[in-house]
C-alpha cells in the first residue's frame, strides 16, 4: 500500500465525496438511482445540492458529515473514502441528526410530503447499535479497486477510535442485500452477518426495488489484545 | 409570565398526539413514546413557530432532553 495515505476529509474533498456518496447509495435494478433521490423525490441536481449542503453543515456524528469521512489519497488525489462515527442515543442518533439537516435542506413541507417514504426506509433499515463504530459510504475509484483500500479504511477507522475513553466493542455496517461484491469484501476483513437484522418490507421493495438491508458486525479487539496477537509465540 | 416549559406542554401534546402527555426538564427521546427522527423534525418546527425563533443546526446538536431545549429557547429569546 505504499503511496497511499489515509486522512480525515477536508472541504476540498467535497466534490469527490459527492460522487462517492452518490455511487455508494446507488440502487441496483432498472432505475439505478441514488437512494436519496428515491426517498425524498429529488432531481439529480437536488441530490447533489442536498449532499453538498449536508457535508458543509458543520454537523457531526452521521453518515453525511464531513468530519465522519476518511479519505485515501494517491499522489494527493482522493481515490477512496468511507464514513465512520460512533452511534449515539436519542435525538443525537445519526438518523435524527440527518433528518433534521435534510428537512432544512429540502424544506419542511417537502419533507412532510415524503414522510411515508422516510418511515418506510426507517422501518426497513437495521437499527444502529448505540456506542458501536458505524461504517458507511465506502467508495473506491474503479482503477484502484482490488488494492486493499477498503481494508486500509477500516483499519484507519478502528485506529481512530481505539484511544477513546470508552472505545466501541464492535464495528457495524449496513448495506443493501444486492451489494454482494461489497459484502464479500467485508467478510474477508472479519465482518459477519447479524442474523435477523434485515426487516425488509414490501413497501421498501416497491419504493426502492431492493430486497432490503444486511447488517454486518466485526468485534474490535482492545489494543492490549492486538499487541498480544502481534507478539511472537513462545 | 408563563414559563417556557409550560408553553412547551401543548406543543409536545400536539406533535405527539397525546393529550395526557406531560414533559419535564428530564424528559427525552427514551421517555416520550414516538420521539423518533420524524417527530423530532416536527417538534423543532413547532417549537420555532411557538416561540418565534430559528435554531441553527449547530445549536440543535447539543440537545439531549427537554431541559436543554428550554435553556436553548431562553438563550434565543434573550439574544
Kindly report, residue by residue over B8-50, the tens digit of the pLDDT.
Answer: 999 999 999 999 999 999 999 999 999 999 999 999 999 999 9
Cβ(A191)–Cβ(A217) below 8 Å: yes
For residue A173, which phi and psi values (nearest 5 degrees)? -135, 135
Interchain proximity A122–B36, CB inside 8 Å? yes
Q: How confident is the model at residue A222 (pLDDT cuts 50, 70, 90)?
A: low
Interchain proximity B40–A91, CB inside 8 Å? yes
Chain A nearest C-alpha distance from B31 (Å): 10
Among B28, B44, B61, the residue with its CB nearest the CB of A90 is: B28
Interchain proximity B45–A108, CB inside 8 Å? yes
What's the first-to-final CA gap in chain A, in angstroms?
A: 30
The ipTM, to two decimals, is: 0.90
Q: Which of A34-48, A213-227, B61-75 has the lowest mean pLDDT?
A: A213-227
Radius of gyration of chain B (CA): 12
**Mean pLDDT computed over A167-193:** 94
**Mean pLDDT computed over A76-97:** 95
Interchain proximity B41–A108, CB inside 8 Å? yes
pLDDT of residue A234: 39
Of A98, A144, A126, A145, nearest to A216 (Cα)? Answer: A126
What contacts B52, CB < 8 A, 6 or more positions away?
none
Say whether residue A28 is in contact with chain B using an 8 A CB cutoff: no
* β-bridge partners, A107: none
Instruction: In whole angstroms, give the CA distance from residue A33 to residue B51.
Output: 40
Query: Which residues of B sit within 8 Å Cβ distance of A?
Result: 28-30, 35-38, 40-42, 44-45, 57-58, 60-61, 63-65
pLDDT of residue A223: 53
Instruction: In whole angstroms, give the CA distance from residue A162 to residue A27.
Output: 33
Interchain proximity A122–B58, CB inside 8 Å? no
Q: Locate all alpha helices (DSSP H) within chain A, ordered by sequence.
A: 14-24, 35-40, 44-55, 94-106, 108-113, 115-124, 149-162, 180-188, 202-208, 223-230
Provide, as residue numbers in chain A, all residues whose Cβ is less than 8 Å from the Cβ of B37.
93, 95-96, 98-100, 118, 122
Interchain proximity B28–A91, CB inside 8 Å? yes
Output A29 or A111, whichever has higher pLDDT: A111
Of A95, A159, A98, A175, nearest to A130 (Cα)? Answer: A95
Total beta-carbon pairs less than 8 A apart between chain A and chain B = 60
pLDDT of residue A94: 95
**Mean pLDDT computed over A55-75:** 94
- Chain B: residue whose CA lies nearest to A62: B61
Amino acid at each position: 500500500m505504499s503511496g497511499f495515505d489515509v486522512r480525515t476529509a477536508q472541504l476540498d474533498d467535497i466534490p469527490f465525496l459527492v460522487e462517492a456518496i452518490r455511487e455508494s447509495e446507488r440502487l441496483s435494478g432498472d432505475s439505478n438511482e441514488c437512494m436519496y433521490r428515491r426517498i425524498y423525490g429529488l432531481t439529480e441536481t437536488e441530490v447533489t445540492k442536498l449532499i453538498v449542503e449536508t457535508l458543509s453543515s458543520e454537523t457531526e456524528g452521521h453518515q453525511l458529515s464531513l468530519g465522519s469521512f476518511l479519505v485515501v489519497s494517491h499522489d494527493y488525489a482522493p481515490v477512496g473514502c468511507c464514513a465512520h462515527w460512533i452511534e449515539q442515543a436519542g435525538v443525537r442518533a445519526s438518523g435524527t441528526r440527518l433528518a433534521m439537516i435534510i428537512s432544512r435542506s429540502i424544506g419542511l413541507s417537502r419533507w412532510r410530503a415524503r414522510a411515508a417514504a422516510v418511515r418506510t426506509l426507517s422501518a426497513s433499515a437495521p437499527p444502529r447499535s448505540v456506542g458501536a463504530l458505524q461504517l458507511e459510504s465506502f467508495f473506491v475509484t474503479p482503477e484502484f479497486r482490488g488494492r486493499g483500500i477498503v481494508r486500509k479504511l477500516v483499519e484507519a477507522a478502528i485506529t481512530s477510535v481505539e484511544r477513546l475513553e470508552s472505545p466501541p466493542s464492535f464495528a457495524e455496517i449496513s448495506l443493501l442485500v444486492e451489494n454482494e461484491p461489497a459484502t464479500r469484501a467485508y467478510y474477508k476483513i472479519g465482518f459477519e452477518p447479524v442474523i435477523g437484522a434485515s426487516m425488509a418490507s414490501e413497501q421498501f421493495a416497491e419504493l426502492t426495488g431492493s430486497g432490503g438491508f444486511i447488517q454486518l458486525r466485526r468485534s474490535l479487539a482492545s489494543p492490549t489484545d492486538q499487541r498480544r496477537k502481534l507478539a511472537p509465540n513462545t | 409570565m408563563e414559563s417556557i416549559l409550560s408553553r412547551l406542554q401543548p406543543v409536545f401534546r400536539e406533535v405527539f398526539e397525546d393529550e395526557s402527555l406531560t414533559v419535564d426538564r428530564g424528559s427525552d427521546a427514551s421517555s416520550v413514546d414516538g420521539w423518533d427522527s420524524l417527530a423530532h423534525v416536527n417538534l423543532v418546527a413547532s417549537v420555532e413557530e411557538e416561540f418565534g425563533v430559528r435554531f441553527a443546526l449547530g445549536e440543535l446538536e447539543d440537545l439531549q432532553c427537554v431541559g436543554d431545549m428550554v435553556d436553548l429557547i431562553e438563550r434565543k429569546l434573550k439574544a
